[in-house]
Structure 1
């Protein structure tokens, strides 16, 4: 029974992260469909409500997946270098993946939020070009899925 629950959780996490990644990439596509004028490194564009909604959904799914993986993975802590040296390889792998999931979350969520907030204005905006924030955040959702599954498997195995 416990193995079935573990497989279900892994599939749930992967599904959430992949959905967030696809939504981020779709938001980038929707953002690129709006009218814009570009002059060297400056760009004026109208916001896209569809890109805003897709980016917001992607950010929420990524954050929710991260909360779930941290809750079900347990709260492992290697507080000192001595503990890290004495820990089993599974535990070291789980801690490395935990740290990587936090790094990927920070960068990916930041990219999604920046891309989403650029589409949250009531009128057009002009400034430096901000390309590919939403799609890069979407791609990082896929990376988050990978590290989350490895973290969960190694944390429950140790």
Structure 2
């Protein structure tokens, strides 16, 4: 099984890259994770709601075009399922048994398009808080590492 993180936005602050890279290195011996940075649609300073909707649609199409055959799409958004770390660990075991690859979609600053939401098999919320999309990368890779640590009996996770 491979997990691909489909993220909108390509130029992240140094603190995001540092945090992501640390957990990315840790998780690789346990599971294959690939970061796919997709371009964010250009925005203006005073865009209308219709223009923002259009940007979201463009980014959504980019996410959908990035999907690979036999990849299960999971949308990350505030209204999705809440999972404990332990539940994520058992969910990842199920994913491995299913033999399908996973694509975790993280939208840009305006979220995910309706098309991505509809295509997703399910929606996952990292928090009831609205998180900035760069921070989601760091939280997501850390939680993948933590879940795989549980599944592999590594002492990183202390409940």
Specify if TM > 0.5.
no
Identify which of structures 1 and 2 has the higher relative contact order when contacts are C-alpha pairs closer than 8 Å and 6+ apart.
Answer: 1
Q: Which has the higher helix share?
A: 1
Q: Which has the higher strand share?
A: 2
TM bucket, shorter chain: 0.3 to 0.5
